[in-house]
Structure 1
Amino acid sequence: MMRKNYYQKLAFMVILMAILLAFQEYTSKDKEPFPDVKFIDGNSITANITDFDPNILTPERWQELGFSEKQASTILKYKDIVGGTFTSKEQLKKCYAISDEKFEELKPFILLPEASVKDNSNRFNNFERKEIIVSEKFNPDLKKAHDWSKMGFSERQAEAIIKYKNYLGGSFISKEKFRECFIISPENYSKLEPYLLLPSKTPENFKTSDTNYPKKIKVQYRAFDPNRLDVEGWKALGFSDKQAQAIVNYRDKNLRGSFKDVDDIQKCFVISAEKFQEMKPFITLNPEAIKKVEIQQEKTDFSKTDLNTITFKQLIEFGLDEKSAGSIIGFRKKLRGFVNKQQILDTYNIDKELVQKLISIAPLDASNVPKYSLADAPEEWLKDHPYFKYSADKIIFYRITYPDDKKILKFLKLKPEYEERMKLYLK
């Protein structure tokens, strides 16, 4: 009897264990594995950033996120290709300059939706070409840029087609010439060709016609002083807008205000040797005017020149190159003025050694630099200022409920150095 009870108990235990094992197996099917534990590296780039909108990042800001200068440039070119604006994280991820690992690192901070309507509706990415649609015969000479866009060409392609027509003299001339437009692929040409109201062949005399090229302006030269000519004056001598501006920039920036002799004019890369020989007999340089410019330049006293009002020309005069001078003026304009000299030294693309020398000599007056509280700062100022624009949307949101700077800063959860930069421009 005891042996029978023993076996019954043993059987019951076996059955109970089988039921428990089956229950455990069943309930664990839908459970995800326990996530791997990852230790955060204090030097990781994610420790140094806050939420950001990739559509407003400058090349420098992309580099701060850990990309090289070339990668940053590629990302911005990709943004232009997809229409000038990233519409979703999914779209941004397609940029080949951003590795999968890097994207996952930045993803939590990207202020974009996961996917846009545009992304979901396309089976392919944004590089997919639109289908060209044409239903009736037409004269391409009469089509404007928006007409080509309606056919299915992109805005840039449409503009390129118009430029090509203008290059030909205002007419596509023939189907042969139309086909040579590099924007129009063989596939698209085959679709358009039956509808083109153009002769099939190019006239024999077209190759020798002057309509292929811009007409050369015949200049009636008179004696002139190249140091007194503005952009319009150089254009009157037969130069294009861009060429005329380049000559003025070369004189005013590279030569510090004046051509000292005819060799200076000859060295200007915009002026060809042929053009220089045409102009040379009519060039008259006024030595007195050159001396005046030189005297004016020598008068700059940098020990009395405010770094918040110093001009591009004065920076060039001090010895900075155009790149350094332009960077300082550009950064100062975005900040609405420097508050301390360290900001100038932290400017991108400058000769730090020479700038250090400048800021040790020149004074800085920050009394006219606009400052606000976060609660009343204009939205435009917040969204444009380099120190505030990456947090502008959050500031605008938080200040609705908490019109107190300390509380807003607390909610922003910025790195200490970013918060200190903001405080430079806060009341």
Structure 2
Amino acid sequence: MLLLPLLGALVWLVSETLRPRFGDSAPLLGDTLAEEEKHPAGGADTAGVRRLRLFRFDPNTVTYEELRLLGIAPRTAAGIVKYRTAGKVFAIPEDFAACYGITDSAYAVLKPYIDIGEAYRMRIREPRTAERRCLFSVTPEGNGRTAMARTGEGVSAAASGAENGLVPFDPNALGEEGFVGLGFTPRQARTIINFREACGGFRTAADFARSYAVSEEMFVRLKPYIVIAPPEEESAGKESGQAAGNGGAAASLPVELNRADSAALVAVSGIGPATASAILAYRERLGGFCNRRQVVETGVVTERNWERMKEQIWADSCAIRKIDINFAAPNAVARHPYITPRTLRKILRNRQLKGGWSTIEDMVEDNTLTNEEAGRLAPYLHFGTVPL
């Protein structure tokens, strides 16, 4: 009778001592780092916690097991592999930071070890040979606009001697072939053209840089050669203002839609007080007009009135208010007229799963937006990142 309790206590003690500690077998990155500081030497500490192993890795090819060795939680490691299988390419280290589950502290530790392979690395596409470069010169086209005339073998000595074979160009006048000649891929060229049509043209060099297909390095390279002619409606407005002198309302035309008040809008032929109120209300929901044709979307502007007013109004795309799609509150996203309830649900779901996007192309690739929705929303979205 006395030996039975002692035997039971001995069995319990042995089982507790030998039982594996599953909670310590896969520590989080922060816990592992803390253990590293406590136990700087040896393969494992006395508590059996696995040491962190830091090594150079490419997020495009790293395996699940290697991610776990880096101290990344199982669910996050599996998500990264699955995200990559779906077609995601990590072109810069910051793409890895955008993965769901990678915290700022974890990214700060892993960033020095991220090594993007040459096949995946973001780089500026240069023309392959001097013979195949597409050079352009500025020639007058009328109404203050400029056109890009393609030059062949008869390029002047000054143009042929320019750095990288570049000469001044107007991004509003280039087609797909022209942008490819500047060093963009055909897909990037089509994206720039779609963005240009969506925002009503580039009014400044900064507008051109806002296109998500134009990287910072490419913009720095091209900026000295960007020459943007005044838009036709602006030139026409200046001429009408000079003709009208200091008298009459015509001197203030055309009216810029994103800064105009109701009084300025009513001065436009075809816009009455009710129409002006509808335009201002829609402008608030939209965040601003990127092209003048959008006033028809208010539902109160008839085609007849549009024909009367279109030469008297214009839209400055630089004045629109953008939505930070990675961090904006759900109600702020839902207010935009281009985002339907179904699209809103997809945006919120995928944002929670992935932690955000780097470009609007990423939103198209993961089926968050259709191509049509992306074309309409591109001028209104901003892709913010969390500061380290």
Q: TM-score, normalised by structure 2?
A: 0.29
- The structure in which a higher percent of residues are strand is 2
Which structure is richer in relative contact order (CA contacts within 8 A, separation 6 or more)? 2
Q: TM-score, normalised by structure 1?
A: 0.27
Q: Max radius of gyration: which structure?
A: 1
